[in-house]
Amino acid sequence: MKIHNFSAGPCILPQDVFQQASKAVLDFNGLSILEISHRSKDFVAVMEKAQSLALEHLGLINKGYKALFLGGGASMQFLMTAYNLLEKKAAYLNTGTWSDKAIKEAKAFGEVVEVGSSKEANYNYIPKDYQIPTDADYFHITSNNTIFGTQLKEIPQVNIPLVCDMSSDIFSRQLDFTQFDLIYAGAQKNMGPAGATLVVVKEDILGKVSRHIPSMLNYQTQISKDSMFNTPPVFPIYVSMLTLEWLKSNGGIDAIENINNKKASLIYSEIDRNDLFKGFAAVEDRSNMNATFSLNNDSHKELFDNLCKEANISGLNGHRSVGGYRASMYNALPLESVEVLVNVMKELENRA
C-alpha cells in the first residue's frame, strides 16, 4: 500500500535510501553499520563523503567553509551559535516558534535585538522593513518556518555575519550560499533521520568571542576533530550521506527545486481556487516546503479527513499552534502525492 507521507518531520525520505540503509544494517562490508567503530576507515570514508557532498551541493567547496555533523538537533544550534559568536550584541528576525527559541537561548550570552517579528499575527508573514544594527556580532534568520508555512524569498543583504537556521528547506532551492557564514539544519527533513545536525560554518568567523566555550559546544573543537570529538551519530550520518548521493544522482538542487516549485504551485493553486479552503500564510511568503491551510467551514472536516484516509494520505494535520492542515512537501515527496491530495480537495468540493 502506498502512503502519501506529508509529515513535517521526521518525514519522507527516498525509497532507494531506505533500501540501501536497511541493507547496511545487515551488512556493511561484513559487519552491520550499527556495530562498526566510528574510527574505522569505512566510517571515516562515510563522514568525509557526507561532508564533501553537503559542501558540493551548496557550492561551498574551497570557499573557507567546514561541514560538521553534530548531535543535539537544530535546538542545540540555537545555543551553540550564540555561545560561539555572540560577544556583545546579536540581531534576530523573529519569524516563528523556532526563531523565538533561538532568541531565548541567545539572551543568556548578550544583548539580543529583535529587528522584526510577526508574532502578533501568529507568524503568518515575514517582516520586511527592519533595520539591522551594524555593530551586531551577527544576524540570525530562519529561512523556512516549518510550523507556519512561511519562507524567506529574499535573503537579507548584510555586512555582518549571517547565521541561518535552514532546517526545513536546506537542499530544496538554489541560493547563493556564500552569503551565509553559518548554516545549520537538523537532518530530519531533507537530509536523513533525526539524530544528526548539519552545520556549515565559515571558519574565519570563529575564535572571536572572549568567553570560555566548553569543548563539546565549541565549533573549533568539532572542526579540529572532524566531527569526531565524541562518538558521532553514525547511522543518521550514513543515511544523510545516502540522501545527499540520491540528490546528486537526481540532478542536485537545481533539478529538485524545479519539482518542488511544481508541487508548491499545484497545492497553492488549489487552495486559492477551491472555495472550501483558505491558506494561512501571506501569499508572497508562502513556503514551498510546508503549505498551511484550513477549511472555511468546520462541518466539512469529517468528510475531508475520511477522504484523505481513503486516499492513504498521512501526516496532514496542522501544528497545534496553527490548527487546520499542513502539507509538507520535502524533496523526497513525489509530485504524484500532491496530485492525490489536490484530487481529494476537488472531490470534497464535489461531495460537500
Is 95 labeled as ligand-binding? no
Q: Which of these ranges, 42-50, 103-111, 165-173, 305-313, lies near ligand PMP under the rule CB under 6 A? A: 165-173
Of 74 and 241, the one with the shorter C-beta distance to ligand PMP is 74
Contacts of residues 273-279 at CB distance under 8 Å and 24 or more positions apart, as own/partner, are: 274/345, 274/346, 274/348, 274/349, 275/349, 276/300, 276/345, 276/348, 276/349, 276/352, 277/345
- Choice among 66, 181, 189, 263 that is catalytic: 189
Nearest to 220 by CA among 90, 89, 80, 107: 80
Is residue 180 near ligand PMP by the rule CB under 6 A?
no
Is 178 labeled as ligand-binding? no
Nearest to 304 by CA among 331, 328, 281, 327: 327
What string of DSSP letters covers 59-110?
T-TTTTEEEEEESSHHHHHHHHHHHHH-SSEEEEEE-SHHHHHHHHHHTTTS
- Choice among 98, 137, 181, 246 that is catalytic: 98
Cα gap 104→78, rounded to integer Å: 9
Single-letter residue type at 350: N
* Residue 297, burial from CB neighbour count under 10 angstroms (0-12, 13-18, 19+): exposed
Nearest to 85 by CA among 158, 178, 160: 160
| Site string (8-37) toward ligand PMP, x via CB under 6 A | -x----------------------------
In the complex, what is the shortest distance from the CB of residue 270 to ligand PMP, in angstroms, rounded to a whole number? 24
Q: What angle do CA 163, 166, 169 make, to 5 degrees?
A: 150
Is residue 74 near ligand PMP by the rule CB under 6 A?
yes
In the complex, what is the shortest distance from the CB of residue 246 to ligand PMP, in angstroms, rounded to a whole number? 21
Q: Which of 117, 118, 124, 146 binds ligand PMP (CB under 6 A)?
A: 146
In the complex, what is the shortest distance from the CB of residue 237 to ligand PMP, in angstroms, rounded to a whole number? 15
Q: Which of 10, 59, 73, 127 binds ligand PMP (CB under 6 A)?
A: 73
Q: Which of 43, 83, 98, 177 binds ligand PMP (CB under 6 A)?
A: 98
* Helical pair 15-26 and 234-249, crossing angle rounded to 10 deg: 140
Active site (annotated) includes residue 165: yes
In the complex, what is the shortest distance from the CB of residue 76 to ligand PMP, in angstroms, rounded to a whole number? 7
Is residue 285 near ligand PMP by the rule CB under 6 A?
no
Cα gap 259→94, rounded to integer Å: 29
Q: How many binding residues for ligand PMP (CB under 6 A)?
A: 11
* Helical pair 301-310 and 335-351, crossing angle rounded to 10 deg: 140
Of 28 and 148, the one with the shorter C-beta distance to ligand PMP is 148
In the complex, what is the shortest distance from the CB of residue 128 to ligand PMP, in angstroms, rounded to a whole number? 20
Residue nearest to ligand PMP according to CB distances in the complex? 73
Q: Which of these ranges, 68-76, 115-123, 215-223, 323-331, lies near ligand PMP under the rule CB under 6 A? A: 68-76
In the complex, what is the shortest distance from the CB of residue 213 to ligand PMP, in angstroms, rounded to a whole number? 20
- Choice among 165, 169, 181, 285 that is catalytic: 165
Is 215 labeled as ligand-binding? no
Cell (9 digits) for 49 = 563523503
Contact set with ligand PMP (CB under 6 A): 9, 73-75, 98, 142, 146, 165, 167-168, 186
Active site residues: 98, 165, 189
